[in-house]
Amino acid sequence: MTKRRLILLLTALPAFGTPAAADSCGDLAGKVAAATKAEVGERIEDFVRFKAEGTMTLSLSCGGTGPSSVGAQYLGEPLPEDYYSVFGKAGQAVSGVAADTLVAAAHKARIEAETKRHSTVPTGGVLVTCSFTRSAKGPLTMCAAIEKADRS
């Protein structure tokens, strides 16, 4: 190898030798937005809020190497027909667990939360948790899919 080629190679290595730092939270936010058609709203380092259909919102907490979670919130009754579907798609985008598995767990947790206020159902390697409260603003449903193990 000639001296000139060696210099060119050594000059080019820094550009190829170290991959750009991946924005894992941004990647997950992109997956959630694509799966649910929700619009990305507020974004800070490890948290993203989305505007879904109607007054439904989604939230994504990105744990870096730790567990991440995604939740769906809705103020009012009855729940929109697509609440569980959107929740399942968002959960699948984050955890890889099948949407229908997450939907079934969310239905069960939401029903239990009506009497207990809060319920958690383990399923497919995640915890599905739902809360239900009534206030002057109306009934609030919040369900989340939370990864159980870290991804390091």
Q: 94 in a domain, yes or no? A: yes
DSSP string, 10-39: HHHHHHHHSPPPP-HHHHHHHHHHHHH-PE
pLDDT of the residue at 20: 36
Write out the residue range of the structural domain in which residue 90 sits: 39-147
Buried b / exposed e along 47-69 (16+ C-beta atoms within 10 A): ebbbebeeebbbbbbbbeeebbb
List, for residues 67-83, the tens digit of each pLDDT value.
899 999 999 999 999 99
Read off the tokens for 45.
């380092």
pLDDT of the residue at 17: 34
Q: How far is CA 7 from CA 3, 14, 63, 123, in A?
A: 6, 12, 41, 55
Q: 5 in a domain, yes or no? A: no
CA distance 112 to 109: 5
Q: 137 in a domain, yes or no? A: yes
Q: 24 in a domain, yes or no? A: no
pTM of the model: 0.81
Q: 30 in a domain, yes or no? A: no
Q: 124 in a domain, yes or no? A: yes
11: pLDDT strictly greater than 80: no
Q: 123 in a domain, yes or no? A: yes
Of all residues in the chain, what percent carry a pLDDT higher than 90?
Answer: 74
Q: Which residue has the higher pLDDT, 52 or 151?
A: 52
Number of structural domains, the chain? 1
List, for residues 77-130, the tens digit of each pLDDT value.
999 999 999 999 999 999 999 999 999 999 999 999 999 999 999 999 999 999
Mean pLDDT (whole number) for 23-46: 93
Mean pLDDT of the chain: 85
Q: 18 in a domain, yes or no? A: no
Read off the tokens for 112.
């239990």
Length of the chain equals 152
